[in-house]
Amino acid sequence: MGERVHRVVFEPDGRTLFVPDGQTILEAAQRAGVHLNAPCGGKGTCSGCRVIIPHDPPPPTETCLRELSGEEIRRHLRLACQVRVRGDMRVVIPEETRLGDQRILTEGVARAVPLAPNVRKVAVHLPSPSVQDQRADGERLLDGLADEGLADLRLDVKVIRELPARLRDLEFHPAAVVIGRDVVHLDRATSADACYGIAFDVGTTTLVGYLVDLTTGRQAAVASRANPQAAYGDDVIARIEFCGRQRDGARTLHGLVVGALNEIIAEVCRKAAIRPSVIYEATVVGNTTMNHLLLRLPVEGIARAPFVAASASAHEVPSKDLGLRMHPRGRVYTAPLIASFVGADTVGVILATGLHEDDRLRLAIDIGTNGEIVLGTRSRLLACSTAAGPAFEGARIRYGMRAATGAIDRVDLEGERLALHTIDDAPPVGLCGTGLIDAVAALLEAGIVSRSGLMRGGAGAAAVTEPRPSESGAVAPALAQRVVGADGETGFILAGADETQTGHPVLLTQRDVREVQLAKGAIAAGIVMMLEEFGARVQDVQEVLLAGAFGNYLRPERALAIGLLPPLPTARVRFVGNAAGAGARMLLASRGLRRVADDLSRGVEHVELSQRPEFQARFAEAMFFPVPGP
């Protein structure tokens, strides 16, 4: 008897899939190419994969009862990772559950570097063979290139096999494509100016590609995508665990990221009106796990003590080997890594900001699921990674979402009135990372959240004396009315049901505040530990550089208000945008910088916080919020 299958229809897409009995809705959605928000990778701990089963929903599991509100259960919401398909069903995916388009930062600070790419395309005029000149075709080509200043080159046997016919077809007037020391292709001389490379920032959450004209150094086009691997978990640990659980897990994640990078290549080629075959090199920066998944290297050792990567070196791989649709003999350069949780993206940040060339003490922070921190001067650089968790990506927050249309991204107090701003000025759907920090900062200012993180009105809150009340001696009535009970915990209504796209209110809950404390506490404690290791005080830091999409949209005064950043004047805080991507472009434009990157990967001192017993004490202290200013 064959395996039972059931028909599942995903709405509003109308996509239909026949699903084996017992498979979860999340697994079925992944097979159907319907990407759901599943930050925890399907463990049932984040409540991100909420779906609606409008007809005959299965009874809620214990996990659903724990993660969903009573009202959500009554509205037939379930967690896709918890519901196993036992019959035909229709599944409605709410807007906040979809991994749709999000605001992706592509630009960042970059320093000018002399144009000296690893790829050169040189037109040469070669004398035709004769009885008097019987040089072999290969030597004839190499001699002609040497006359153009390109000496000590090599010819691959694959090129030599086609060389005689190719030279005569081109009438001994080819444009030779040279990558490093290797001649990889002969093109028509008229195409000598068609020489491009692409720089990739392969992030856990987003992917960005920059098309660069290697004859001029001009950026010709840029494109970005959400990383489709996020359907298998928002953080690298979830993805490593997926690779361990599934026999073909690593192959699946490799295929997803390569597919998305190929989409980026196709898009930038359309924008620049070029053929993918004139892209001869790609440079890649990314964290260690993203690097290993792209290169198909084992990732299991990254996540368990003693946290050892398979390789920290730079690698040069044929593009065909990775499946990238550029020139089939093109090369992919992956920048070197610093440690298992401090990757090539951090090397890119250092290169782009010039941290390694400055006498001032500067601090660079890339705030994400893993917050990478670099501190130092030209004479000494320290780097560490802190497990901040995905709260600042909107994950594990009751109404959290990515920075997409409808996400609340700014919250301000205007007297007793709460003022919200959403991305694209759309009706609210949920709360993204910057809105989350703003909301907590506003409630601290209003006296609704205490220094210890307790929300006024919650269990035990009557005894709290820490919140700073308004001048009347109590929380402003208009704000106090927004504090409600929400399935056994306290919540603050940011947007009422009549204001939102979804028809349900957007709340900031007590548990959300705790998630913020965990995330900001990890980063703040990491900064303290780095300063102690360096032997410096907070006031010695001359500049704080915020890298990445989240840091770019963060308001420094709000970050200071919750203690995410060290207590310094806001004038010392500078946004550097996607500095990792800028570093990837620099490595594409200047082959000499690759030696600098190698030196940085070996010379930056990695501080392993998890092995420092004092880190837990610093972390516990950093969980508290600062005393609100006057």
CA 381 → CA 42, 95, 201, 340, 387, distances in Å?
38, 43, 22, 17, 20
- Tens digits of residue pLDDT in 619-629: 999 999 997 66
Query: Please, which pLDDT band fits residue 469 given cuts at 50, 70 and 90?
Result: very low
The answer, yes or no, to whether residue 551 has pLDDT greater than 70, is no
C-alpha 54: how far from chain center: 34
Q: Answer whether residue 50 is part of any domain.
A: yes
Going by the DSSP 8-state scheme, the letter that residue 570 receives in this structure is G
> Does residue 436 lie within any of the structural domains?
no
Same domain as 259, residue 214: yes
Report yes or no on 349 lying in a domain.
no
Give 488 or 248, the one with higher predicted confidence: 248
How many domains, the chain? 3
Q: Which residues of 477-584 form beta strands (DSSP E)?
A: 483-486, 489-495, 506-509, 543-547, 573-577
Chain mean position to CA 386? 15
Identify whether residues 260 and 204 lie together within a single domain.
yes
Going through 392-550 in order, the beta strands assigned E by DSSP cover 407-414, 417-422, 430-431, 483-486, 489-495, 506-509, 543-547
- What's the rounded Cα separation, in Å, for the pair 492 and 25? 31
pLDDT band at 45 (very low <50, low <70, confident <90, very high): confident
Nearest to 204 by CA among 611, 550, 594: 550
pLDDT, one tens digit per residue, over 173-203 is 999 999 999 999 999 999 989 999 999 999 9
| Proportion of the chain in helix, strand, coil states, percent, rounded to 5 | 35, 25, 40
What is the mean predicted confidence (pLDDT) over 547-565?
A: 85
200 and 253 in a single domain? The answer is yes
Determine how β-strand 430-431 pairs with β-strand 417-422: unpaired
Looking at the predicted structure, is the pLDDT value of residue 367 above 50?
Answer: yes
Among 191, 210, 241, residue at a domain's last position = 191
354: nearest Cα among 325, 374, 330, 327: 374
Domain boundary among 274, 302, 334: 334
**Whether the predicted model's global pTM rises above the 0.85 cut:** no
Kindly state the average pLDDT of the residues 285-302: 97
Mean pLDDT of the 209-218 span: 95
Q: What is the pLDDT of residue 143?
A: 96
Tokens of 310: 């398979």
Tens-digit pLDDT profile for residues 320-348 = 999 999 999 999 999 999 999 999 999 99
Residue 152 has pLDDT above 60, yes or no: yes
Query: Mean of the per-residue pLDDT values for the chain?
Result: 89
Residue 21 sits in the same domain as residue 74 = yes
3-state secondary structure of 367: coil
The answer, yes or no, to whether residue 99 has pLDDT greater than 80, is no
Picking from 358, 379, 367, 311, the residue whose alpha carbon sits closest to that of residue 598 is: 311
Tokens 């505040």 sit on residue: 513
158 shares a domain with 86 = no
Angle separating helix axes 344-353 and 579-589, nearest 10 degrees = 80
Whether the CA torsion 505, 511, 514, 518 is positive or negative: it is negative
In the block, residue with structure tokens 């080819």: 174
**Which residues on neighbouring strands pair with residue 220, listed in sequence order?**
none
Environment class of 14 (CB within 10 Å of its CB; exposed 0-12, middle 13-18, buried 19+)? exposed
For residues 187 and 200, membership in a common domain is answered with: no
Whether residues 211 and 255 share a domain: the answer is yes
pLDDT category of residue 101 using cuts at 50, 70 and 90: low
In a domain, 238, yes or no: yes
Q: Looking at the structure, tell me whether residues 220 and 169 fall in a common domain.
A: no
78 in the same domain as 145: no
Q: Are residues 172 and 54 in the same domain?
A: no
Q: Which residue has the tokens 């082959």?
A: 591
Kindly tell me the burial class for residue 491, based on how many C-beta atoms sit within 10 Å of its own C-beta (0-12, 13-18, 19 or more): buried
Domain-ending residue, one of 158, 191, 224: 191
Domain that holds residue 134: 119-191
